[in-house]
Homo-oligomer: A and B are copies of this chain.
Amino acid sequence: MARVYNFSAGPSMLPEAVLRTAQAELMEYGSSGQSVMEMSHRSPVFEAIIQETEASIRRVLNVPANYKIGFFQGGAHQQFSMVPLNFMTTGKADYMVTGNFSGVAAKEAAKYGDIRIAASSEDRNFTYIPDIASTEFRPDASYIHICHNNTIFGSVFNEVPQVDGVPLIADMSSNIMSRPVDVDKYGVIYFGVQKNIAPAGMAIAIVREDLLGHADPKTPIMMDYTKLLAKDSMLNTPNCWCIYMTGLVMKWLEQDIGGLENMQKLNEAKAKVLYDYLDSQDFFHNPVEKPYRSLMNVTFTSPSKEMDKLFCEQAAKAGFVNLKGHRLVGGMRASIYNAMPAAGVDALVDFMKEFVRTNG
């Protein structure tokens, strides 16, 4: 069977060239006589893999020297707890709630201190991002937390809060590596890897060094950024296979794509095809206000729930899978991350047109 176009919100498509390399190297990496899945994480052959993976992230994202990069387990959900346990030094933090995961993060942080919701877009079911300039943040907040791209609702921040002396911490799970990032606007950037980078089972955090060293004494050892980063992500055995896969994807971004500027152009072109079509007709509807539309997650509904269901069924038969929207939004969602080829979006739009012709 041919490869399907997989619009899953995560785990999601990986570049076919990367999968082919992983397959070719699976029984033996280089001339090591072992699979990457069998290697001691303390062996020189694996140390070279993890060091090159970290270096490639630093190059691709242009991470300044005063930021550390770490590989963690537990996904972004685990980071939701780690952020307050490590960085809430004043006992207070401000959260912007612009979707599901930013709300989960705020709720988790409230276990550990005084959390204020500085702004929320829940009033219009998260179809926009609140105005940054008119949002008030507490000057004694330890940090401001945002989720940069809202996977479920399909919205994204265009500008981010910048408050003197209050670091910005961002969950970028669903749009990291999709375009360049001004890392120095952030104190911490973290992301689960399973959407735009690698198979599931790991999060990466990029942490400004001056924020380290203040974890709550009861922080579980595997949730202490300072301790893990001091051991170069090898306090215990890391997810070696996922680190290897991350390295392959970084190499693809650098060598096949040519870096994040090019990746952004490709992603903008893909998203434009889908949004332009959505805006050109009245059968499907995207609920997100135009300035805040995500390049990664495109939500849309048909005239009825029954029609949504029929659409997803027929799409799956035609090789477009995982288009069902999240239950909080309904309808459909096409997640078009880096590894989704432009041809996949073009083919989806053709399919949508044909669906409207026969069902509209």
CB distance from A93 to the nearest CB of B (A): 16
Q: Scan residues 65-88 of chain A and give those whose CB is less than 8 A from a CB of chain B.
A: 73-78, 80-82, 85
Closest 7 CB pairs of A and B: A201-B239, A81-B220, A4-B33, A37-B199, A73-B73, A8-B40, A77-B236
What is the CA–CA distance of A9 and B321 in the complex, to the nearest angstrom?
41
Chain B residues near A349: list those with CB within 8 A.
none
- Contact: A200 with B240, CB < 8 Å? yes
What is the CA–CA distance of A22 and B38 in the complex, to the nearest angstrom?
13
The residue in chain B whose Cβ has the minimal distance to the Cβ of A14 is B38
Q: When A3-B28, A28-B1 are in contact, do A200 and B41 touch as well, CB less than 8 Å?
A: yes
CB distance from A17 to the nearest CB of B (A): 11
Chain B residues near A269: list those with CB within 8 A.
none
- Contact: A3 with B241, CB < 8 Å? no
Q: When A38-B14, A221-B80, A223-B220 are in contact, do A23 and B26 touch as well, CB less than 8 Å?
A: yes
The residue in chain B whose Cβ has the minimal distance to the Cβ of A220 is B81
What is the CA–CA distance of A19 and B25 in the complex, to the nearest angstrom?
11
Q: When A23-B27, A26-B22, A74-B222 are in contact, do A238 and B40 touch as well, CB less than 8 Å?
A: no
What is the CA–CA distance of A62 and B43 in the complex, to the nearest angstrom?
35
A218 CB–B CB distance under 8 Å = yes
CB distance from A44 to the nearest CB of B (A): 11
Chain B residues near A221: list those with CB within 8 A.
77, 80-81, 108
Cβ-defined partner of A35 (8 Å) among B1, B14, B237, B239: B14
Please tell me how many copies of the chain the complex holds. 2
Identify the A interface with B (CB < 8 A): 1-4, 6, 8-14, 19-20, 22-23, 26-28, 31-41, 43, 73-78, 80-82, 85, 108, 111-112, 192, 194, 198-202, 217-218, 220-223, 235-242, 245, 319, 321-322
- Contact: A31 with B200, CB < 8 Å? no
- Contact: A31 with B1, CB < 8 Å? yes
Cβ-defined partner of A19 (8 Å) among B35, B194, B319: B35
Q: What is the interface of chain A mostly: helix, strand, loop, or mixed?
A: loop
Chain B residues near A223: list those with CB within 8 A.
81, 220
- Contact: B19 with A81, CB < 8 Å? no
- Contact: A13 with B33, CB < 8 Å? no
* Pairs A–B under 8 Å by Cβ, sample size 8: A3-B33, A4-B32, A6-B39, A20-B27, A37-B245, A73-B78, A77-B222, A201-B238
Q: When A19-B27, A108-B220 are in contact, do A200 and B75 touch as well, CB less than 8 Å?
A: no
- Contact: A218 with B26, CB < 8 Å? no
- Contact: A11 with B40, CB < 8 Å? yes
Cβ-defined partner of A201 (8 Å) among B23, B27, B242: B242
Chain B residues near A85: list those with CB within 8 A.
220
CB distance from A45 to the nearest CB of B (A): 10
Chain B residues near A321: list those with CB within 8 A.
33-34, 43
